[in-house]
Structure 1
Amino acid sequence: MILGVGIDLAEISRIEHACEKEHFRKRIFSESENARIDERGWETAAGIFAAKEAVAKALGTGFRGFGPDSIEILTDEVGKPECHLYKGALEQMQKMGAARLHISITHTGDMAAAVAILEADA
């Protein structure tokens, strides 16, 4: 059963500009995410940003009760995005009774998009 759905768009050039401020990068992205951004570029930063926003929306709270540092977007060995929740975000997912969180990220031109789906056991 689906408990929550979130979607977000992010302009790659806008995220690139924001990332010029070290404070923004440290506040929004984890060390692992920043390493991946340095390796893969600004479209990756925008995709991660959009995914964090989509997850916050799927949780039904936005970023109330937790910040972007409570959501980490990594990839598995074949490049599939994986979401790891911590602190308030994890507490909200557990409170909702969700068992799984699915995310998908894409980008084209100057836009990145992400969708997040929270699922409970049937």
Structure 2
Amino acid sequence: MPSQYRPQLLGWIDDLDKGTNYLSGADDRLLYANDNYCAFLRKTSSDQIFYLCISFICIIGSLFLIPSLIYSLPSCNNKAIYFLLLAGLVCSILILYVMIPELYQNLFTRKGCPIIFNRKTNKVYINESY
């Protein structure tokens, strides 16, 4: 039996909107809708590919930068340059620490981390895929 419920997609997109419009459109973001559930994507495939490329570039850059900074620290005689190299090393390690989970999430996330609305129980489920 076909569903008699027709979700008002544009109304739901407007309800999700907080401030400026980050959502591209209802048709791009709707994953599934029936009488009980409606699921919206938080990340489209183009978003995932973009963030995957950015995190991959940052990780590769950090992996090359960290050993070169470690190698150049003992041979530095100027204190100012030494502290700049040390600050660069700490920043590179922090970038690597942040970007590895981002890379993992963009590689292995399921269907764009959907937000699922349950109409009958009025609950919202958020899939994080960590």
TM-score by length of 2: 0.30
Q: Identify the structure with bigger relative contact order (alpha carbons < 8 Å, sequence gap 6+).
A: 1
TM-score by length of 1: 0.31
The answer to which structure has the higher helix fraction is 2
